[in-house]
């Protein structure tokens, strides 16, 4: 196990009806609120009016930034930054999924920075201050509700990049499983793939002797596998929605990478794909991850054997380690297919025209990943296998 620091300052408020605490949770931070949300589904579900009621109850002055995109764009973030400056915003409230929260974080960092917010994604500047943010989560997926990371897309340059800071942890996040009852099937699927992929990135590590972190990761995967299918069968099943949400939060709240070197190469590759094609993140990950696994599993075979046996209950009797490992990878692909996620770039309309460019962008700062360091040739090989 490596040394590490575990320090998560987000207050997670979980359960049915917890939106009723929103006013009281925001109150300490000020009265000028920027409300950030997405395509307007929160108006159809009635969540929007509940949130407005809460804000009214504390006498808040509310500005709104609707229309955050599934891959949130720099132009939209800049709109939010303008509002913050013009209206003296004191607190940003994100109501939505990971994209809305990520946009809110970038706005929070950009509002108090005199330069271009994109600087934070290219290490041209570090985040030294940020407006406080809070969230009401409506989708089990990114885990952005309990960490300090944000992913933003520059649509003009076709670049998708991350920024992060301890200052971007939400002050609170309200997670109410009933708010996810109306999440459409494809978004539920993408959320499931996203959560599992986050775990993969931190589970397939070369760091030795981390049994607890591995058990936690396996526990999250097993919970998602089981409850994901249940939530797809019945979207209004409280328990499976709740279990998915909790798993999604724990997959990205700092629990899994304590003392572990994580990989993240597949995320880097996926970002290059979805930056060009505006593909939902979960679809890109579903296509790529089993191919990454096949490309790297021999680098630490026993970890993949453990994965197959503990997560997928592969019976290892009379099989070689290689066979057991491949069976687990196959089970991963089969699960993704069973829940309706795509398996190839071709079926989402992506051909080989930009693979070279994606590979170049992916390794622009050098080889990526840590389980196996991937060169441009490795990335190209994974992309070709994904066609």
Tell me which residues touch a second copy (CB under 8 A). Answer: 1-18, 208-212, 215-216, 218-220, 222-223, 226-227, 239, 242-243, 246-247, 250, 255, 258-259
User: DSSP assignment, residue 207?
Assistant: -
| Dist. CA 190–CA 193, nearest whole Å | 5
CB of 4 to a second copy, least distance (A): 5
Nearest partner of 365 among 240, 268, 291, judged by Cα: 268
Both tokens assigned to 8: 């998560």
Closest CB to a second copy among 47 and 350? 47
User: DSSP assignment, residue 101?
Assistant: H
CB 202 within 8 A of CB 215: no
| Dist. CA 71–CA 99, nearest whole Å | 6
| Dist. CA 285–CA 348, nearest whole Å | 12
Closest CB to a second copy among 159 and 308? 308
CB of 299 to a second copy, least distance (A): 21
CB of 313 to a second copy, least distance (A): 12
Closest CB to a second copy among 205 and 227? 227
Closest CB to a second copy among 15 and 184? 15
| Dist. CA 314–CA 58, nearest whole Å | 55
Nearest partner of 131 among 150, 112, 151, 152, judged by Cα: 112
Side-chain half-sphere of 141: how many Cα atoms within 13 Å?
Answer: 26
CB of 184 to a second copy, least distance (A): 23
CB 295 within 8 A of CB 378: yes
CB of 345 to a second copy, least distance (A): 33
CB of 227 to a second copy, least distance (A): 7
Closest CB to a second copy among 208 and 366? 208
Closest CB to a second copy among 85 and 215? 215
CB 227 within 8 A of CB 243: yes
| Dist. CA 145–CA 74, nearest whole Å | 20
Closest CB to a second copy among 215 and 298? 215
CB 382 within 8 A of CB 291: yes
CB of 250 to a second copy, least distance (A): 7
CB of 209 to a second copy, least distance (A): 4
| Dist. CA 224–CA 191, nearest whole Å | 10
Closest CB to a second copy among 66 and 219? 219
């Amino acid at each position: 196990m490596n040394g590490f620091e575990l320090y998560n300052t987000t207050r997670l408020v979980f359960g049915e009806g917890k939106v009723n605490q929103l006013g009281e949770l925001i109150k300490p931070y000020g009265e000028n609120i920027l409300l950030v949300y997405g395509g307007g589904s929160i108006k159809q579900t009635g969540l929007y009016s509940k949130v407005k009621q809460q804000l009214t109850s504390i006498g808040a002055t509310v500005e709104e930034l609707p229309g955050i995109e599934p891959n949130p764009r720099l132009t939209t973030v800049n709109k939010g930054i303008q509002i913050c400056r013009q209206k003296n915003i004191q607190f940003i409230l994100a109501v939505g999924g990971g994209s809305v929260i990520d946009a809110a974080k970038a706005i929070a960092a950009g509002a108090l920075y005199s330069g271009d917010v994109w600087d934070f994604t290219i290490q041209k500047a570090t985040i030294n201050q940020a407006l406080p943010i809070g969230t009401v989560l409506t989708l089990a997926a990114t885990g952005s509700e309990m960490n300090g990371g944000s992913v933003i897309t520059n649509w003009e340059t076709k670049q998708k990049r991350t920024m992060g800071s301890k200052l971007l942890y939400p002050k609170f996040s309200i997670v109410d499983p009933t708010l996810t009852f109306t999440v459409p099937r494809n978004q539920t699927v993408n959320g499931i793939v996203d959560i599992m992929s986050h775990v993969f990135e931190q589970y397939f590590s070369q760091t030795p002797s981390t049994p607890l972190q591995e058990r936690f990761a396996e526990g999250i995967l097993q919970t998602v596998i089981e409850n994901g299918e249940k939530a797809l069968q019945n979207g209004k099943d409280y328990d499976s929605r709740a279990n998915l949400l909790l798993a999604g939060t724990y997959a990205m709240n700092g629990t899994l990478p304590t003392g572990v070197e994580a990989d993240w190469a597949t995320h880097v590759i996926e970002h290059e794909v979805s930056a060009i094609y505006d593909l939902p993140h979960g679809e890109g990950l579903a296509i790529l991850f089993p191919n990454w696994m096949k490309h790297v599993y021999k680098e630490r075979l026993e970890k993949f054997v453990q994965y197959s046996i503990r997560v997928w209950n592969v019976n290892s009797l009379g099989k070689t380690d290689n066979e057991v490992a491949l069976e687990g990878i196959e089970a991963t692909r089969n699960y993704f297919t069973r829940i309706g996620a795509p398996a190839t770039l071709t079926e989402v309309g992506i051909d080989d025209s930009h693979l070279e460019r994606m590979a170049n962008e992916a390794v622009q700062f050098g080889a990526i990943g840590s389980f196996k360091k991937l060169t441009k040739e490795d990335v190209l090989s994974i992309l070709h296998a994904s066609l």
